[in-house]
Structure 1
């Protein structure tokens, strides 16, 4: 049976939400987040376990962080449905950009930019904000388990001016061409990468880490710019842009790949430690089993294949 009705239901809900003032959006999101906290027992338990193990904090502190996380996730969900109502004027009202010059100068080099980010804060508004503010943004995304959710998200992303490419498909060839044209290519690099990832220590445990940002930074000599969005206590968001860095080619490809992937992972980890109630603690980040006998670097896509097809 087709589940297209879910798309239309979300569109109707989105139309209603777009009529609300932004304070109403945040209030509704907070209510939904509290409800989600109560009904999503499995995710809540996993989040509590993983945050305690990773940060070494008490159950009481963990519960405060996860309670706050679920409320913020509710707000993020409602904000996503509010995206058709976003205008540049509203973005400037709700969002501040810190160290904008780092990203501007990286784009001006003309070699494309690898934008490194994670599921911190409202990552959808992060992309929409940069694209609507004039940055030439493209993104490599992972399809949602529900196609209708992917459908509406991609519709709203493209509405904001983001060019979308799906991870693990031939669309990555087009993503490489976009980077070659000087665009910003965004990667959410905090998910389990399965058997194709590089095992890196992340928040105290070995985890299979995506290598896409490394591959593109190496092939195109593009600057890597870490960018994250976090919530302001009074409402709205901050976009935090970090200083660019580059792939260092010493001739030892395996070691060079490892070093820059570790650097990217550490930046994400430090951001999570600084804003512990902003990251998706219930995601299965450590799902792929680690074996010391299988630590060789495996790329999502070989640099050679990108070179041949880009």
Structure 2
């Protein structure tokens, strides 16, 4: 990236925080607590912060039965041969990973995979460099694996001009804090999910800018395709945009190796030959994206976010 393009990037306005939920007293208390934790985690260092938060959520999380029961049932359905002990151990690991990820948000600048003292080893870095060198915009897809923020940190470190798609936090004050933090270590080009950001996705690709998307969560108005052996409402946006702009879809995986250290893998673009039937092409490419995510989940199931409502309620999963 040239100096002039960096200057332009620094002037890019940040998205406005969530505006459909006015800040309440509860929001202000939550925001104050979040700022305090950011300060505390920053003060004690990344290793201690990660271990402290991970230990806390590993202990407390499984006691939140409504949420943990959902994760346990999801795991039983995905891995029907697992014992109950294996299911409970995996859910405890999910909670620990979630706590560690939250604490590590205060130390995102430590996860540049190209830094001399990096905590992230990277496989397939040449694929990032090719996009950064002008191979054309790409659509990078991943899921809520390990510390999922590492993907966007790596894209910026590799010099990729990209926009990151995010889900706005419910608390507008916390949402603004997250946007500002990501702008420092990721991209100022941040696109909220949903109708609010739909046009921005197209504009980014038209400008030659790549996209970074986490595409493993339920979308009520998505399309139903297989995921972990069960039909799941899935966003068709990556497939539609890839077909419209001829952009490669590049899966990325993140593994937590030990503590606050990771391996980031950049895979080959998904091989897909369009047939000319747009609806079927979107469906088939979306299935291939889900299969790429599923492979990463099955490799390290305790590092994926099993706690959310990924599948329909009427298939037997807890509400």
TM-score over 0.5 for the pair: yes
CA contact (8 A) 2:239 2:285 kept: yes
CA contact (8 A) 1:95 1:238 kept: yes
CA contact (8 A) 2:131 2:160 kept: no
Corresponding residue number in structure 2 for 1:139: 164
Corresponding residue number in structure 2 for 1:73: 98
Corresponding residue number in structure 1 for 2:137: 112
Question: Is 1:205 aligned to 2:230, yes or no?
Answer: yes
Summarize the Cα distance change of 1:141–1:191 in structure 2 as closer, same or farther, 3 Å threshold.
Answer: same
Q: Secondary structure, in 3 states, of the residue corresponding to 1:49?
A: helix
Question: Is 1:264 aligned to 2:317, yes or no?
Answer: no
CA contact (8 A) 1:216 1:222 kept: yes
| 1:167 Cα deviation after fit | 1.3
| 1:107 Cα deviation after fit | 4.3
Summarize the Cα distance change of 1:28–1:52 in structure 2 as closer, same or farther, 3 Å threshold.
Answer: same
Corresponding residue number in structure 2 for 1:254: 279
Corresponding residue number in structure 1 for 2:7: none
Q: TM-score, normalised by structure 2?
A: 0.83
Q: Which consecutive residues of structure 1, in runs of 5 or more, have no partner in the other structure?
A: 291-310
1:275-290 correspondence runs (5 A): 275-287=300-312
CA contact (8 A) 2:145 2:255 kept: yes
Summarize the Cα distance change of 1:64–1:231 in structure 2 as closer, same or farther, 3 Å threshold.
Answer: same
Cα distance in 2, alignment partners of residues 200 and 81 from structure 1: 36
Question: Is 1:181 aligned to 2:207, yes or no?
Answer: yes
CA contact (8 A) 1:197 1:211 kept: yes
Which stretch of the first structure deviates more once superposed, 14-23 or 127-136? 127-136
CA contact (8 A) 1:29 1:72 kept: no
Which stretch of the first structure deviates more once superposed, 77-86 or 95-104? 77-86
Cα distance in 2, alignment partners of residues 133 and 271 from structure 1: 23
Question: Is 1:42 aligned to 2:42, yes or no?
Answer: no
Cα distance in 2, alignment partners of residues 24 and 40 from structure 1: 24
Q: Which consecutive residues of structure 2, in runs of 5 or more, have no partner in the other structure?
A: 1-23
